[in-house]
Copies of this chain bind each other. A is one copy, B any other.
Protein backbone atom coordinates (compact mmCIF):
# COMPACT_ATOMS: atom_id res chain seq x y z
CA UNK A 1 0.00 0.00 0.00
CA UNK A 2 1.47 3.27 -1.15
CA UNK A 3 -0.10 5.11 1.78
CA UNK A 4 1.99 3.10 4.24
CA UNK A 5 5.26 4.19 2.68
CA UNK A 6 6.81 7.41 3.92
CA UNK A 7 9.61 9.46 2.44
CA UNK A 8 11.72 11.20 5.08
CA UNK A 9 14.07 14.05 4.14
CA UNK A 10 16.62 14.96 6.80
CA UNK A 11 17.97 18.53 7.10
CA UNK A 12 17.34 19.42 3.51
CA UNK A 13 19.08 22.70 2.69
CA UNK A 14 17.64 23.63 -0.69
CA UNK A 15 13.91 24.29 -0.88
CA UNK A 16 13.96 23.34 -4.55
CA UNK A 17 14.91 19.81 -3.57
CA UNK A 18 11.94 19.50 -1.23
CA UNK A 19 9.60 20.57 -4.00
CA UNK A 20 11.20 18.31 -6.59
CA UNK A 21 11.10 15.37 -4.17
CA UNK A 22 7.38 15.94 -3.57
CA UNK A 23 6.76 15.91 -7.30
CA UNK A 24 8.85 12.77 -7.72
CA UNK A 25 6.81 11.06 -5.00
CA UNK A 26 3.45 12.02 -6.41
CA UNK A 27 4.27 10.83 -9.93
CA UNK A 28 4.88 7.41 -8.41
CA UNK A 29 1.82 7.33 -6.20
CA UNK A 30 3.43 8.18 -2.86
CA UNK A 31 2.00 10.87 -0.61
CA UNK A 32 3.45 10.63 2.90
CA UNK A 33 6.27 13.17 3.19
CA UNK A 34 8.04 13.95 6.44
CA UNK A 35 10.68 16.66 6.80
CA UNK A 36 13.23 16.53 9.58
CA UNK A 37 14.42 20.04 10.38
CA UNK A 38 14.36 21.49 6.89
CA UNK A 39 16.35 24.69 6.54
CA UNK A 40 13.36 26.56 5.19
CA UNK A 41 9.79 25.32 4.98
CA UNK A 42 7.29 26.10 3.62
CA UNK A 43 8.77 28.15 0.82
CA UNK A 44 7.67 29.55 -2.54
CA UNK A 45 10.51 27.74 -4.28
CA UNK A 46 9.51 24.35 -2.94
CA UNK A 47 5.93 24.98 -4.03
CA UNK A 48 7.05 26.05 -7.49
CA UNK A 49 9.22 22.96 -7.97
CA UNK A 50 6.49 20.69 -6.63
CA UNK A 51 4.36 21.70 -9.60
CA UNK A 52 1.13 19.70 -9.33
CA UNK A 53 2.28 18.05 -6.11
CA UNK A 54 1.87 21.00 -3.79
CA UNK A 55 -0.77 19.08 -1.87
CA UNK A 56 2.02 16.80 -0.63
CA UNK A 57 3.83 19.84 0.76
CA UNK A 58 0.65 21.08 2.41
CA UNK A 59 0.19 17.77 4.19
CA UNK A 60 3.87 17.20 4.94
CA UNK A 61 4.78 16.72 8.56
CA UNK A 62 7.74 18.67 9.95
CA UNK A 63 9.57 17.12 12.89
CA UNK A 64 12.71 17.81 14.89
CA UNK A 65 14.44 14.45 14.74
CA UNK A 66 14.69 11.37 12.58
CA UNK A 67 13.39 9.27 15.47
CA UNK A 68 10.11 11.14 15.42
CA UNK A 69 9.85 10.69 11.70
CA UNK A 70 10.16 6.93 11.81
CA UNK A 71 8.70 6.09 15.19
CA UNK A 72 5.62 4.30 13.86
CA UNK A 73 7.46 2.37 11.13
CA UNK A 74 8.40 -1.30 11.27
CA UNK A 75 10.88 -1.02 8.45
CA UNK A 76 13.29 1.88 8.07
CA UNK A 77 15.63 2.02 5.12
CA UNK A 78 18.35 4.66 4.99
CA UNK A 79 19.96 5.86 1.79
CA UNK A 80 23.70 5.67 1.78
CA UNK A 81 26.17 6.50 -0.96
CA UNK A 82 29.28 5.52 0.88
CA UNK A 83 30.16 2.25 2.44
CA UNK A 84 30.50 2.76 6.14
CA UNK A 85 32.94 1.51 8.67
CA UNK A 86 30.45 -0.93 10.10
CA UNK A 87 28.97 -3.23 7.51
CA UNK A 88 25.20 -2.89 7.50
CA UNK A 89 22.57 -5.00 5.74
CA UNK A 90 22.44 -3.51 2.28
CA UNK A 91 19.85 -3.46 -0.45
CA UNK A 92 19.89 -2.09 -3.92
CA UNK A 93 17.06 0.19 -5.00
CA UNK A 94 15.11 -2.64 -6.60
CA UNK A 95 15.22 -4.74 -3.45
CA UNK A 96 14.24 -1.72 -1.40
CA UNK A 97 11.21 -1.20 -3.62
CA UNK A 98 10.10 -4.79 -3.21
CA UNK A 99 10.82 -4.87 0.52
CA UNK A 100 8.85 -1.67 1.03
CA UNK A 101 5.91 -2.96 -0.92
CA UNK A 102 5.80 -6.21 0.98
CA UNK A 103 6.13 -4.60 4.39
CA UNK A 104 3.58 -1.92 3.56
CA UNK A 105 0.88 -4.54 3.23
CA UNK A 106 0.74 -4.73 6.99
CA UNK A 107 2.68 -1.84 8.50
CA UNK A 108 4.48 1.41 7.93
CA UNK A 109 7.76 1.88 6.09
CA UNK A 110 10.12 4.85 5.96
CA UNK A 111 12.81 5.54 3.41
CA UNK A 112 15.19 8.14 4.78
CA UNK A 113 17.23 10.56 2.67
CA UNK A 114 20.09 12.62 4.04
CA UNK A 115 21.57 16.07 3.60
CA UNK A 116 22.65 17.35 0.20
CA UNK A 117 26.30 17.51 1.20
CA UNK A 118 26.82 14.85 3.82
CA UNK A 119 23.96 12.39 3.57
CA UNK A 120 22.94 10.69 6.79
CA UNK A 121 25.19 10.60 9.82
CA UNK A 122 26.50 7.28 11.09
CA UNK A 123 24.15 7.61 14.02
CA UNK A 124 21.16 8.08 11.75
CA UNK A 125 22.21 5.21 9.53
CA UNK A 126 22.46 2.97 12.53
CA UNK A 127 18.81 3.67 13.28
CA UNK A 128 17.89 2.01 10.01
CA UNK A 129 17.09 -1.65 9.49
CA UNK A 130 18.76 -1.59 6.11
CA UNK A 131 20.76 0.71 3.94
CA UNK A 132 19.84 1.17 0.34
CA UNK A 133 22.45 2.02 -2.22
CA UNK A 134 21.55 3.30 -5.65
CA UNK A 135 24.24 1.98 -7.95
CA UNK A 136 25.98 5.04 -9.30
CA UNK A 137 29.05 5.60 -11.40
CA UNK A 138 32.35 4.87 -9.65
CA UNK A 139 33.83 8.21 -10.60
CA UNK A 140 30.84 10.50 -10.18
CA UNK A 141 28.21 9.12 -7.86
CA UNK A 142 26.61 12.20 -6.40
CA UNK A 143 22.89 11.84 -6.93
CA UNK A 144 20.75 14.86 -6.28
CA UNK A 145 18.43 14.10 -3.35
CA UNK A 146 15.25 14.58 -5.40
CA UNK A 147 16.71 12.35 -8.12
CA UNK A 148 17.39 9.69 -5.49
CA UNK A 149 13.79 9.99 -4.27
CA UNK A 150 12.67 9.61 -7.88
CA UNK A 151 14.59 6.37 -8.37
CA UNK A 152 13.44 4.82 -5.09
CA UNK A 153 9.83 5.92 -5.64
CA UNK A 154 9.99 4.47 -9.14
CA UNK A 155 11.20 1.12 -7.79
CA UNK A 156 8.44 1.14 -5.17
CA UNK A 157 5.89 1.70 -7.89
CA UNK A 158 7.42 -0.97 -10.11
CA UNK A 159 7.26 -3.42 -7.23
CA UNK A 160 3.56 -2.68 -6.77
CA UNK A 161 2.81 -2.97 -10.46
CA UNK A 162 4.73 -6.19 -10.86
CA UNK A 163 3.04 -7.61 -7.79
CA UNK A 164 -0.40 -6.63 -9.05
CA UNK A 165 0.74 -8.22 -12.28
CA UNK A 166 -0.41 -5.10 -13.99
CA UNK A 167 3.01 -5.48 -15.35
CA UNK A 168 4.08 -1.97 -15.45
CA UNK A 169 2.89 1.01 -17.43
CA UNK A 170 2.55 -1.23 -20.38
CA UNK A 171 0.63 -4.43 -19.78
CA UNK A 172 2.58 -7.55 -20.69
CA UNK A 173 0.63 -8.07 -23.86
CA UNK A 174 1.21 -4.51 -25.00
CA UNK A 175 4.90 -4.58 -24.38
CA UNK A 176 7.01 -5.11 -27.38
CA UNK A 177 9.68 -7.63 -26.70
CA UNK A 178 11.92 -7.12 -29.55
CA UNK A 179 14.35 -8.69 -31.80
CA UNK A 180 17.13 -7.64 -29.61
CA UNK A 181 19.03 -10.64 -30.67
CA UNK A 182 22.46 -10.55 -32.18
CA UNK A 183 21.85 -10.24 -35.88
CA UNK A 184 24.07 -11.56 -38.65
CA UNK A 185 24.20 -8.28 -40.56
CA UNK A 186 24.60 -4.72 -39.32
CA UNK A 187 21.37 -2.78 -38.87
CA UNK A 188 21.07 0.48 -40.74
CA UNK A 189 21.09 3.75 -38.78
CA UNK A 190 18.26 6.23 -38.78
CA UNK A 191 19.85 8.66 -41.21
CA UNK A 192 19.72 5.98 -43.89
CA UNK A 193 16.19 5.08 -42.93
CA UNK A 194 15.09 8.65 -43.57
CA UNK A 195 16.35 8.25 -47.14
CA UNK A 196 14.53 4.95 -47.28
CA UNK A 197 11.18 6.46 -46.26
CA UNK A 198 11.64 9.33 -48.70
CA UNK A 199 12.47 6.85 -51.46
CA UNK A 200 9.53 4.62 -50.58
CA UNK A 201 7.04 7.48 -50.67
CA UNK A 202 8.47 8.90 -53.87
CA UNK A 203 8.23 5.49 -55.48
CA UNK A 204 4.59 5.23 -54.46
CA UNK A 205 3.92 8.67 -55.92
CA UNK A 206 5.81 7.89 -59.14
CA UNK A 207 3.90 4.68 -59.62
CA UNK A 208 0.58 6.35 -58.98
CA UNK A 209 -0.27 4.58 -55.75
CA UNK A 210 -0.01 7.64 -53.59
CA UNK A 211 -1.07 11.21 -54.19
CA UNK A 212 1.77 13.52 -53.27
CA UNK A 213 -0.58 15.89 -51.49
CA UNK A 214 -2.71 13.31 -49.79
CA UNK A 215 -0.58 10.47 -48.44
CA UNK A 216 -3.02 9.85 -45.61
CA UNK A 217 -1.70 7.54 -42.91
CA UNK A 218 0.59 5.60 -45.18
CA UNK A 219 3.88 7.34 -44.30
CA UNK A 220 3.23 6.91 -40.58
CA UNK A 221 2.31 3.27 -41.06
CA UNK A 222 5.45 2.64 -43.08
CA UNK A 223 7.53 4.19 -40.32
CA UNK A 224 5.86 2.13 -37.67
CA UNK A 225 6.24 -1.03 -39.69
CA UNK A 226 9.88 -0.65 -40.66
CA UNK A 227 10.63 0.92 -37.29
CA UNK A 228 9.57 -2.18 -35.47
CA UNK A 229 11.29 -4.47 -37.92
CA UNK A 230 14.62 -2.62 -38.21
CA UNK A 231 16.27 -3.46 -41.51
CA UNK A 232 19.73 -4.90 -41.85
CA UNK A 233 22.00 -3.67 -44.60
CA UNK A 234 21.16 -6.40 -47.09
CA UNK A 235 17.43 -5.99 -46.61
CA UNK A 236 17.83 -2.26 -46.94
CA UNK A 237 19.71 -2.58 -50.22
CA UNK A 238 17.16 -5.07 -51.48
CA UNK A 239 14.30 -2.64 -50.92
CA UNK A 240 16.13 0.32 -52.32
CA UNK A 241 16.84 -1.78 -55.40
CA UNK A 242 13.19 -2.72 -55.71
CA UNK A 243 12.07 0.91 -55.34
CA UNK A 244 14.54 2.02 -57.99
CA UNK A 245 13.40 -0.64 -60.43
CA UNK A 246 9.78 0.36 -59.92
CA UNK A 247 10.58 4.01 -60.51
CA UNK A 248 12.44 3.14 -63.71
CA UNK A 249 9.38 1.27 -64.82
CA UNK A 250 7.16 4.26 -64.10
CA UNK A 251 9.47 6.42 -66.19
CA UNK A 252 9.43 3.91 -69.05
CA UNK A 253 5.67 3.85 -68.92
CA UNK A 254 5.46 7.62 -69.06
CA UNK A 255 7.75 7.64 -72.09
CA UNK A 256 5.90 4.84 -73.81
CA UNK A 257 2.61 6.67 -73.36
CA UNK A 258 3.85 10.03 -74.61
Binding site for B on A (CB under 8 A): 20, 23-24, 26-29, 51-53, 67, 70-76, 86, 88-95, 98-99, 102-103, 106-108, 110, 126-130, 133-137, 140-144, 146-147, 150-151, 154, 157-158, 161, 167-182, 186-191, 194, 204, 207-209, 217-218, 220-221, 223-225, 227-231, 234-235, 238, 241-242, 245-246, 249-250, 252-253, 256-257
Q: How many copies does the complex hold?
A: 2
In the complex, A75 Cα to B146 Cα: how many Å? Answer: 30
Residues of chain B contacted by A209 (CB below 8 angstroms): 241-242, 245-246
Interface centre among A26, A75, A208, A246, by most B CB within 10 Å? A246
A29 to chain B, nearest CB (A): 4
Contact A147 B24 (CB under 8 A): yes
Given known contacts A194-B67, A229-B228, A72 and B178 CB-to-CB distance under 8 angstroms: no
27 residue pairs from A and B, CB less than 8 Å apart: A27-B137, A27-B142, A71-B189, A71-B191, A71-B194, A74-B186, A74-B187, A74-B189, A86-B224, A88-B224, A89-B224, A89-B227, A90-B174, A93-B154, A102-B180, A107-B189, A108-B189, A126-B223, A129-B228, A135-B168, A177-B177, A177-B178, A208-B249, A229-B229, A249-B249, A252-B253, A256-B256
Q: How far is the CA of A89 from the CA of B177 in the complex (A)?
A: 9
Q: What residues of B have a CB within 8 angstroms of the CB of A76 in the complex? A: 190
Of the candidates A27, A94, A218, the one having the most CB atoms from chain B within 10 angstroms of its own CB is A27
CB-CB under 8 A from A142, the residues of chain B are 23, 27, 51-52
Q: Kindly list the 6 A-B residue pairs having the minimum CB-CB distance in the complex, ordered from nearest.
A: A71-B191, A135-B169, A89-B176, A177-B177, A256-B256, A229-B229
Q: Which of B106, B175, B246 contacts A95 (CB 8 A)?
A: B175
Smallest beta-carbon distance A35→chain B, Å: 17
On chain B, the residues within 8 Å of A242 by CB distance are: 204, 209
If A249-B207, A253-B256 touch, whether A130 touches B189 (CB-CB below 8 Å) is no
Residues of B within 8 A of A238 (CB): 218, 221
Nearest residue, chain B, Cβ from A103: B180
Residue contact A221 to B234, C-beta cutoff 8 Å: yes
Rounded to whole angstroms, the CA-CA distance of A157 and B207 in the bound complex is 48
